[in-house]
Amino acid sequence: MFLIKARNLKKNYGVREIVKGINFSITQGEVLAVIGPNGSGKSTTLEMLVGLRKKDGGEVNYWIQNYKEQIGMQLQSVPFFPGLTALENIRLFAAFYKIYLHKQIAEELLQKCGLLESSNTEATRLSGGQQKRLAIATAMVHNPKLIFLDEPTAALDPLSRQEIHQLILRLYEEGKTVVLTSHDMDEVKKLATRILMISNGEIIAEGSPEQLCNENQVHNLDELYLKLISRKAMVSC
Ligand SMILES: Nc1ncnc2c1ncn2[C@@H]1O[C@H](COP(=O)(O)OP(=O)(O)OP(=O)(O)O)[C@@H](O)[C@H]1O
């Protein structure tokens, strides 16, 4: 079952075409990895889907009732409220959804994200990895069906990365739909049920990791990535 369908989605910044009329859908229960080079338009695309950026063309259809309440997003950088603890921050984020998050529920959410011991630490003083986990927790305060994670493990140490992988796998097992961006092909292999590859504002590949590797006669996702990106670069020349 589709949750979101984007048709001919476009975004320009000035005269630059950043997203060039792309078509894709998000299906319930999948972990969709959106991959592609820096600056290819991945974050812009996701931010248009959640309504954080205005699209310049095309349409997005949502198959979720009250979709704004059913979508959560972890942005690459999250402005936590200075002076407030991790616990206070997530309770405040919940209040933005008009939800009173009982302390015990808030602590359960922090525990799920591996942050219970830091719940009384000021959010802006948490380590990079802890802030990333808190950002994911804030995306989940309203128990959304669909969670967008924009580079959830970028710049994290291997243990923190593994903890976030486990969290994402748990969300998948709970039946949540997760859309993530990543530059780490091992991570994509471990987590993604489907891949959407974007280059220069266009979708250049879409399918399960196995299907894409088989179709392109490569052994792994690193090879796939290099093959498709260099092919696209040659075509653009
Ligand atoms: N507000 C903005 N004004 C002008 N240009 C922008 C703006 N936001 C993004 N861009 C440009 O749009 C392009 C796509 O950016 P975007 O963040 O979507 O890429 P990305 O694929 O997510 O990259 P990365 O993997 O590095 O996060 C980049 O060239 C970026 O500089």
What is the per-residue pLDDT across 60-100, written as a single tens digit (0 to 9) for each?
999 988 888 899 999 988 789 999 999 999 999 999 999 99
pLDDT at 237: 60
Ligand 1 centre to CA of 87 (Å) is 31
- What is the rounded distance in angstroms from the CA atom of residue 164 to the CA atom of residue 34? 17
Q: What are phi and psi of 178, to 5 degrees?
A: -125, 130
Residue 201 CB–ligand 1 contact under 6 Å = no
**Which atom in ligand 1 lies closest to the alpha carbon of residue 36?**
21
Residue 18 CB–ligand 1 contact under 6 Å = yes
**Which atom in ligand 1 lies closest to the alpha carbon of residue 45?**
18
Residue 31 CB–ligand 1 contact under 6 Å = no
Q: Which residue's alpha carbon is nearest to atom 3 within ligand 1?
A: 13
Residue 233 pLDDT exceeds 80: no
What is the per-residue pLDDT across 199-225, written as a single tens digit (0 to 9) for each?
999 999 999 999 999 999 999 999 999
User: Is ipTM beyond 0.90?
Assistant: yes
Start-to-end Cα distance in the chain = 39
Q: Token digits for 99? A: 């939800």
pLDDT, mean of residues 168-179 = 96
CA 28 to the chain's CA centroid: 15
Ligand 1 centre to CA of 110 (Å) is 31
Q: Token digits for 187? A: 């991570």
Q: Which among 224, 203, 229 has a CA at the least distance from the CA of 214?
A: 224
